[in-house]
Structure 1
Amino acid sequence: MARGRARPDNAWTFNLTSPVDAMTLPDNSFKRALQRGAPQFGCWAAFADSYVTEALASIGFDWLLIDNEHAPNDLRSTLSQLQAVAPYRSHPVVRPARSDTAAIKQMLDIGVQTLLLPMIDTADQARDAVLATRYPPRGVRGVGAALARASRWNGVTDYLGKASDEICVLVQVETVTGLGNVDAIAEVEGIDGVFFGPADLSASLGLLGQPGADSVRAEIRRGIESVARAGKSSGVLATDERAAREYLAAGASFVAVGTDVALLGAAARQLLAAYRNGAADAVSAKPGGY
């Protein structure tokens, strides 16, 4: 602790008599759960608002996807959501707008431990993604941890040496090309999981807007089986319960079962319809229909 002694001019001098307690690197509970094979149920946080994302975290989802690809997020809004979710058990997974070394570096520095990287079509792209999450000589991540929330501004003992142990790299396979290369992608060292994107995948298969089509689901099931053979985890977005259970039965271990925007929209439409339908019934029951 700091101790001081008064001086005649009311100034103080201070001496540190004991070191400040070092902080430990937060454990990536989501990565550990995937390693155990425990199913992880998630929700897409697309409103790009920390208050909404915190409300989702209070529900108890295993993971929440903070989306920078299709939601109006940026680095600052992602940071505020990481801070909002921090007190809760829900693990934040962040999807950058693209699998880009500079973007990945910034996400990691603000404290992201699990990345979902979009549009990975080849094993080389998957390897590049992993390299972007590792410091030299194992990778190409820029070294600036002293300025970063990830290291608690150098408060974490040996952050540089330990960081990669808690980073979870998930890559998205969402094209016909990616499906054709899924075996090689899953075999890449450092890849923790492969996520299948039904919307883009259905478009690539010539079925735009039909993510639940039988042939799309069949391709995803085959992809899940391929990833399992490599000893890696599979994930998928499945807001339809029947499809979600189908993918879980096929071996998927991290499944997003809803999106915040869809949940609000569905609940709001249901609420409004209940009153509008009731009002219409009351009007029709009046003499003369008014």
Structure 2
Amino acid sequence: MELPVNRFKAGLASGRCQIGLWTSLPGTVPIEILSHCGFDWLVLDTEHAPGDPLTILPQLQTMAAFDTAPVVRAAWNDSVLIKRFLDLGAQTLLLPYVQTRAEAEAAVTAMRYAPRGERGMAGSVRAAGYGQIADYVHRAEEELCLIVQVETREALDNLEDIASVDGVHGVFIGPADLSASLGHPGDQFHPEVVAAIEGAITRLVKLGVPAGILTFRDDFVRRCIELGAAFVAVGMDSGLMARAARELSDRYRQD
């Protein structure tokens, strides 16, 4: 049995901007529907959503049949959570609120087996084909991808230090928390926030490190791509459903 190819990581290496969607709804049916829709990647969120390892597992199993790549966002930069999601077969992890080089280094350490890291070893996990990928321990790192989130003023001040850590494969700029950190909570398009995001993307492109963002506004999606963003999420499942349902009810509701 061969080690599965990480399509998201391969996409980053290709230099093509990958378009994704954020998901927060638990269960396999929403994920199956969205995996049919042509996105390069889906975030399976467990930070601001009810997901956990037991709900992420069947979602990963569902997505295995599709070309759309899963990106699992852990609730925190925590070595236990990292270990559990990796053992379930997640190959790309998105870790929130990384503020310093030391925190990025800790995340990398949690992703790697000894002697390069401290990931706990278990032979019969899903990631290893339940023991059928004989060289998994030695080759797992080839297909693992770590994306760290920078989402505060402090993180932006440390951006080059964070992004240059060996084992960090990309940096995601978290616009919501960043707006709050910069003193404009909820206003992701305040000029100061937009300038900070655009500046971060430009700095990452200069470093040769893939930059990512989540934004729902079409003009800003295109602006981020123009600046060189490598992976852009352009919507969220719950928001899409709520807006479409509200528009439909408004169309036919009689007051």
Structure 2 equivalent of residue 182 of structure 1: 159
Structure-2 separation of matches of 1:229 and 1:135: 31
Q: Does 1:150 align with 2:127?
A: yes
Name the % identity: 44
Structure-2 separation of matches of 1:236 and 1:106: 25
Structure-2 separation of matches of 1:51 and 1:213: 36
Q: Does 1:39 align with 2:17?
A: yes
Larger radius of gyration: 1
Residue pair 1:234, 1:252 contacting (<8 A) in 2 also:
yes
Q: What's the secondary structure of 1:138's corresponding residue?
A: coil
- Which of these residues, 223, 241, 248, is aligned with residue 264 of structure 1? 241
Q: What's the secondary structure of 1:137's corresponding residue?
A: coil
Structure-2 separation of matches of 1:230 and 1:253: 13
Structure 2 equivalent of residue 160 of structure 1: 137
Structure-2 separation of matches of 1:256 and 1:237: 5
Alignment RMSD (CA, Å): 0.9
Deviation at 1:147, TM superposition (A): 2.5
Structure-1 separation of matches of 2:189 and 2:48: 20
Q: What's the secondary structure of 1:59's corresponding residue?
A: coil
Q: Alpha-carbon deviations, 1:164-213, whole Å to 9, x = none? A: 00000000000000000001111111110000010000000000011122
- Which of these residues, 75, 94, 98, is aligned with residue 116 of structure 1? 94
Residue pair 1:108, 1:150 contacting (<8 A) in 2 also:
yes
Q: Does 1:226 align with 2:203?
A: yes
Instruction: Kindly provide the amino acid, as one letter, of the partner of residue 151 in structure 2.
Output: E
Q: Does 1:192 align with 2:165?
A: no
Residue pair 1:96, 1:116 contacting (<8 A) in 2 also:
yes
Q: What's the secondary structure of 1:239's corresponding residue?
A: coil
Structure 2 equivalent of residue 7 of structure 1: none
- TM-score normalised according to structure 1 size: 0.86
Structure-1 separation of matches of 2:153 and 2:61: 37
Q: What's the secondary structure of 2:244's corresponding residue?
A: helix
- TM-score normalised according to structure 2 size: 0.98
Q: What's the secondary structure of 1:140's corresponding residue?
A: coil
Q: Does 1:51 align with 2:51?
A: no
Deviation at 1:95, TM superposition (A): 0.4
Runs of 4 or more consecutive aligned structure 1 residues displaced over 6 Å after TM superposition: none
Q: Does 1:67 align with 2:54?
A: no
Structure-2 separation of matches of 1:110 and 1:40: 24
- Which of these residues, 98, 105, 109, is aligned with residue 127 of structure 1? 105
Structure-2 separation of matches of 1:153 and 1:254: 31
Q: What's the secondary structure of 1:147's corresponding residue?
A: coil
Structure 2 equivalent of residue 202 of structure 1: 179
Ranked by relative contact order (alpha carbons within 8 Å, sequence separation 6 or more), the top structure is: 2
Instruction: Kindly provide the amino acid, as one letter, of the partner of residue 212 in structure 1.
Output: F
Q: Does 1:212 align with 2:189?
A: yes
Instruction: Kindly provide the amino acid, as one letter, of the partner of residue 217 in structure 1.
Output: V
How many residues align? The count is 255
Q: Does 1:24 align with 2:2?
A: yes
Structure-1 separation of matches of 2:234 and 2:115: 39
Runs of 5+ consecutive residues of structure 2 not aligned to the other structure: none
